[in-house]
Amino acid sequence: MTTTKGEMWEAEIKSLDQKGSGQAEVWRKNELGNPKKLRLIIPQTLPGEKVRVMVDQPERKLRKAMPEEVLEVHPERMSPPCPHFERCGGCVWQHWQYEGQLRHKTNHVKHAIEEQGFNPELVQDTIGVESPWHYRNKMEFTFAPDGSLGLHEQGNFRKIISLETCLIAGKEMVEAAMEVATWVKDHQLKGYDKDLHEGLLRHLMVRQSFATGEVMLALFATEAPNTHLKDAVEDLVKRIEEKFPQVKSLLWLENTDWADRTQSEESHVLAGRDFIYDEMDGYRFRLWFNTFFQTNPVQAQKLVDLAIEMGEPKKSEKMIDLFCGVGTFSLPFASKVGKLAGIEIVESSIESAKRNAKDNGLENTFFLAKDARKGIDEILETFGRPELLLLDPPRSGAGGKVMRKIGRSKPERIVYVSCNPDTFATDIKELEQFGYTLDIVQPVDLFPHTVHVEVVAKLTLNKDLN
């Protein structure tokens, strides 16, 4: 059916893409009457469903369209509990029962390693969470030009959806964020306009330690909290101190850069300190606004437990923690090995790792701020060959050069923690030529209702080949 808005099609969802949206194909005739394939991206659908969609500009090869009607419903489809789900870009799978999400993530990991020639049976079922709600300990909200606070619209970076709630963030975090949103409206403060590059407030970062209960609120603004903002800032401090005693860090961070990132050129502590305390595996960490720390603390603890179980650390051994960050894995492992060296390119993270080790009374650690590939060389010269190596690289993976450097250094055991199954599979393929065998891959779900999945894997050196 053709209307002024486009053409109506019925389509069957064959698979999901990397963003969690349904993929379908329909055939239409072009202007010459020849068949032409139209690929459709249809969000908020599930594999096997049949849907009716309105497609604008159907003469193109690929179009994105929202479902007008679900004709055949997947048995695991559910009603999304969040009132913002259909528009907000924070979640993509609230319409899918959690068991189905976990099954899909397991299959994703299996497919990724099978494509690189590994046995998919090495992949265990994904470990889920007991409750897939209110699991995040950090959120970054954005201000719209009118001052309203929310998250980006699905597929539209320019549009901000004003939020009344958020079901994946900690409840106290949401309450504090909503108080800030009310404060902005009461003082008629403007948000930042990305097109005009004007306005005051850009982002609000909220992070909370689920272990200590401490909360950080960090406002990112285009100017300092100067004279004309004095009354508004004093009111903000008063509101937060009266209603949220768990807020131990209230920050105002200047950011005049055009890039839309939560960065700071100048920091102002409005109340409390410039960091909060968090804990994991019995170790205490200091978290600043720009500290990377796992955003799902319950599942992050499982990552640490799995890494220790797979790594089998011994007091007689040396260990390298590559891409060590602030020491999330370094500290728990340090108490179980003879010596531990951590390598991380971000200097502020290394300084935090050193401080965290000192705060926890660990004296057998050494942290180096250097690129991973060069850092390995320096550590090997002064530290010697490690029996155990752990790496937890960014989403882009460690890369072939780093993996080959690891392979040549010949650690007996390698534990690889990854947030991207595809780059993980590509990376570990590099280790085969050095005699390493993949023993086990354990997916862990840190981000329910999203496409993301973490893995912890163990590789062992075949000593008969070396």
**Domain termination site, one of 23, 54, 72:** 72
**Does 307 lie in the same domain as 252?**
no
**Does 110 lie in the same domain as 51?**
no
**Domain termination site, one of 280, 306, 321:** 280
Q: Is 358 among the domain residues?
A: yes
Q: What is the CATH number of the domain that holds 57?
A: 2.40.50.140
The answer on pLDDT for 264 being more than 70 is yes
Q: Are 366 and 340 in contact (CB under 8 A)?
A: yes
What pLDDT score was predicted for residue 23? 96
What pLDDT score was predicted for residue 5? 65
Q: Is 217 among the domain residues?
A: yes
Q: Is 163 among the domain residues?
A: yes
Q: Is 400 among the domain residues?
A: yes
- The secondary element (H helix, E strand) that includes residue 426 is helix 421-429
The answer on pLDDT for 224 being more than 90 is yes
Q: Which residues are catalytic?
A: 419
Q: Are 302 and 327 in contact (CB under 8 A)?
A: no
**pLDDT tens-digit map of 373-430:** 999 999 999 888 999 999 999 999 999 999 999 999 999 999 999 999 999 999 999 9
Q: Is 79 among the domain residues?
A: no
The answer on pLDDT for 227 being more than 70 is yes
Confidence of residue 7 (pLDDT cuts 50, 70, 90): confident
**Does 385 lie in the same domain as 257?**
no
What pLDDT score was predicted for residue 4? 52
How many percent of the chain have pLDDT more than 90? 82
Please give the Cα distance from 120 to 416 (Å, whole number).
Answer: 17
Lowest mean pLDDT among 44-53, 95-104, 258-267, 397-406: 258-267
Q: In the numeric block, which tokens belong to residue 343?
A: 């390598």
Domain that holds residue 333: 104-130+296-465
Q: What is the CATH number of the domain that holds 186?
A: 2.40.50.1070
Q: Is 383 among the domain residues?
A: yes
- Quote the mean pLDDT of the chain: 93
**Does 111 lie in the same domain as 42?**
no
**Does 364 lie in the same domain as 216?**
no
Total-model pTM: 0.91
What pLDDT score was predicted for residue 187? 97
- The secondary element (H helix, E strand) that includes residue 16 is strand 15-16
Q: What is the CATH number of the domain that holds 321?
A: 3.40.50.150
What pLDDT score was predicted for residue 352? 93
Cβ neighbours around 360 below 10 Å, total: 17
Angle (CA) 107 397 88, round 5°:
65
The answer on pLDDT for 263 being more than 90 is no
Q: Is 357 among the domain residues?
A: yes
**pLDDT tens-digit map of 358-373:** 999 999 999 999 999 9
Of these ranges, 164-173, 186-195, 304-313, the one predicted with the greatest mean pLDDT is 304-313
Instruction: Compute CA distances 248 → 118, 178, 213, whole Å.
Output: 48, 17, 9
How many percent of the chain have pLDDT more than 70? 97
Q: Is 159 among the domain residues?
A: yes
**Domain termination site, one of 221, 246, 280:** 280
Q: Provide the domain count of the chain.
A: 3
